[in-house]
A = this chain, B = another copy of it.
Amino acid sequence: MEANLTFFYVTAIIISVLAFGTAIWLYRWVASRPSSNKKVAEVGQLIKNGANTFLAKEYKVLTRFTIVVALLIFVFLPSPIWKGDVLANITMTVSYIFGTVFSAIAGKIGISIATIANVKSAEAATKGIKPSFMAGYRGGAVMGMAVVGSSLFGVTLVLLLTGNTSALLGFSFGASSLALFAKAGGGIFTKTADVSADLAGKVELGIPEDDPRNPAVIADNVGDNVGDVAGMGADLFDSNVASMAAALVMAASLGNPEKNMGMVLCYAGIGLLASIIGVFTANMKEGGDPTRALNTNTYVTTIIYGVLTAVATFAFGFDWRIWGASAIGLVVGTIIGITSDYFTNDNKKPVHMVAKACESGPAFTITSGVSYGLLSGLPAMIGIGISALAAYKLVAPLGAGGNEVAYGMFGIAMAAVGMLSIVGMIISNDAYGPIVDNARGLVEMGDLGDKALEITDSLDSAGNTVKAVTKGFSIGAAGLTVIALLGAFITEVNDGIAALGLNIEKLTGFDVTDPVVFFGLLVGAAIPPVFSAMLMLGVDRNAQRMIAEIHRQFKEIVGLREGKEGVKPEYDKCIEIATTGALKELIPAGLVAIVSTMVVGFIGGVQAVGGFITGNIVSGLIFALFMSNSGGLWDNTKKYIEAGNHGGKNSEAHKAAVIGDTVGDPFKDTAGPSINTQITVVTLVASIMATLFLTLSIF
């Protein structure tokens, strides 16, 4: 069967609309679940308002940022406006704005459903595990459908309107710059609130966790939503768009671009379709195991994707080698997720060893946790390396006769598309986590009874287990995507050389023995640690500001400490501090990543940038894996000890584990997962500025 590109455009849009429809259906389904408890509703409303306050503030700042960047893009990119083609600059600017708007909407939808689903899941827990699970899961799935639907829709739309794959990089940059701020900003917010609430409330004032007298308690719950739901959604939106953009940019420059681009859209569309089916098959029996239910959906989706893409490959005459590349990506993504799970699961050796080390004191908790985190990088790095190598070697022969490299890189891009095909499912599983985590808090605050608490406990624990897998998965996906983006960068540079009629050789790669490349490599590798450090120091500083505010409220609000009827803390103040502080602390870190790319580019040109991107990817992946896995490991070690091992709660081992967990919080929820986005942003900045680096660098 022959199908032209328009067919795939239309199909992609239909499937996106189907995803939106599914999201709306699921949203209504969740919203129509019964809820009646006043106390739960009241706290739920506070969390909802807090999250909206954060989003409003955040989007205000980001709007200003977006306007400034949009103006800069309009004047300078892809070429300075006085030299180049004004229309190209307008296209790039509009695509960029599109990217930010789509990403922002996805975040907004996520927050909106998560702050409903938490209440519904909490109340449903009084009736049984099944309805509680379904409310949480389908809440998460709204986010999954919205994010993946809008990324496919956005990419198709930009392509249809502009007919220009470079514009896709602008769209992707818009999405990822917003994701950078959403992820890192949400990460700083949530850990600021978490740490402050614990330190000022539990430790200093001696009031219990989640006590409504604590002015930071709502901010803490808000943080789960803005950090884990909105931030993570933006992150995966960004990876998903970037992987499609990279594949499409390369597809457009290969022989038979229509067919190859159609294939990219087809595979991405099938991934979304498989996720929709997976969401609806998600179910569990009363008394079932929620972890198993979540994992089953993932396997179902994976199989559906594999079968449907095979059918499509056969039907439309796509090349089987490319199908193989995408399958490799998917399988390796799953394997990386499983190894992440090994390092953080409380049934496995690392958690047991760290828990044992806790008995010797906090220093051993830290050194052993750091050690296992450092070890955890190896299998994932090997996995990413092998999948890239295998995908390349599989697809390269299609370019026999001089085009092997371009096809090989395209193979890597298709592996990334394959890995990200089930991202709808991954986001659904991931967003489920904070929803049921919130639900557990609401059950406790609303006094919904021990049975409900037990149910939400088991749902929460499943969320944590699955989270390790999805985090490993998203780091792996980011890794493959940015390797593919490196290919897109080369394509952009060569397009620039051709367009400007420059008298230089076409770029074929980056040789590390070229000292300009090596210089870029060293500097690029130093950026992810600097970026992480700035975020962690931001959390520290911001927490100090919030603790001061908590002290002020306890001093100035009469009757607050005693819990006098009707006296309430000013929750909004804490939320405002967390918000303002998060945005203030985050901007320098984001700018360091963006500006350092530009500085290296203007010093060393495209060769240095190639090295810079490579160094950034390599060290970024290691630090992301290290920080995420060490953090997850400490979290689960604390829970393992709290479950009664090594002396249980309030033992010396437990105290040491709490210190480990507090160190792990900014590791796993602020710095670690933000690195993904940082890598992508750097690579996209490089790509959209390729022409400038070509013409304006010193070396």
Contact = CB atoms under 8 A, between A and B. Distances in A.
A647 interface: no
A367 interface: yes
Interface stretch (A22-30, A293-301, A562-570, A615-623): A615-623
Given A363-B662, A513-B409, A386 B519 contact: yes
Interface string A510-552: 1111111111111101110110111011011001100000000
A409 B371 CA distance: 36
A59 to B, nearest CB: 28
B513 A509 contact: yes
Contact of A393 (B364, B371, B515, B520): B515
A521 B526 CA distance: 16
A521 B482 CA distance: 15
A557 interface: no
Given A510-B512, A516-B389, A618-B619, A530 B377 contact: yes
Interface stretch (A9-17, A88-96, A244-252, A354-362): A354-362
A377 B523 CA distance: 9
B663 A525 contact: no
A385 B529 contact: no
Interface string A255-299: 000000000000000000000000000000000000000000000
Given A367-B536, A511-B509, A659-B363, A526 B377 contact: yes
B523 A385 contact: yes
Nearest to A412: B515
Contacts of A539: 367
Interface stretch (A302-310, A316-324, A416-424, A483-491): A483-491
Which of A366, A386, A522 has the largest count of B CB atoms less than 10 A from its CB?
Answer: A522
A363 B515 contact: no
Contacts of A587: none
A368 interface: yes
Interface in A124-140: none
Interface residues of A, number: 81
A519 B367 contact: no
A529 B388 contact: no
Contacts of A536: 367-368, 370-371
Contact of A619 (B364, B514, B519, B622): B622
B389 A518 contact: yes
B518 A483 contact: yes
Contacts of A515: 388-389, 392-393, 408, 412
A331 interface: no
Given A374-B529, A381-B526, A513-B509, A368 B618 contact: no
Contact of A367 (B357, B483, B508, B666): B666
Interface string A457-477: 000000000000000000000
A162 B331 CA distance: 53
Which of A357, A626, A659 has the largest count of B CB atoms less than 10 A from its CB?
Answer: A659
A375 interface: yes
A54 interface: no
A378 interface: yes
B378 A519 contact: no
Contacts of A392: 515
Contact of A663 (B366, B375, B523): B366
A388 B532 CA distance: 27
Contacts of A375: 529-530, 533-534
A615 B620 CA distance: 12
A508 B520 CA distance: 19
B533 A371 contact: yes
A622 B525 contact: yes
A449 B516 CA distance: 58
Contacts of A368: 536-537, 540
Contacts of A511: 508-512
B540 A381 contact: no
B360 A362 contact: no
Which of A371, A377, A519 has the largest count of B CB atoms less than 10 A from its CB?
Answer: A371
Given A377-B529, A530-B374, A618 B522 contact: yes
A371 B518 contact: no
Given A389-B518, A512-B610, A519-B389, A663 B363 contact: yes
Contacts of A516: 389
B663 A614 contact: no
Contact of A522 (B367, B532, B621): B621
A519 B374 contact: no
Contact of A518 (B385, B544, B622): B385
Nearest to A393: B515
Contacts of A106: none
Interface string A641-684: 00000000000000000010011001100000000000000000
Contacts of A543: 360
A372 interface: yes
A182 interface: no
Contacts of A199: 360-361
Given A371-B536, A508-B511, A610-B512, A618 B530 contact: no
A111 interface: no
Interface in A336-392: 357, 360-364, 366-368, 370-375, 377-378, 381-382, 384-386, 388-389, 392
List the 6 closest pairs (A to B, CB-CB), nearest first.
A363-B662, A509-B511, A374-B529, A392-B515, A371-B533, A385-B522
14 contacts: A199-B361, A361-B662, A364-B540, A366-B366, A377-B526, A378-B530, A388-B519, A409-B513, A509-B512, A510-B512, A511-B511, A512-B614, A529-B626, A615-B618
Given A368-B540, A512-B512, 19 more contacts: A360-B544, A367-B540, A370-B663, A374-B530, A375-B534, A377-B530, A378-B523, A381-B522, A389-B515, A389-B519, A490-B513, A508-B511, A508-B513, A509-B514, A511-B511, A512-B517, A512-B610, A526-B622, A659-B659
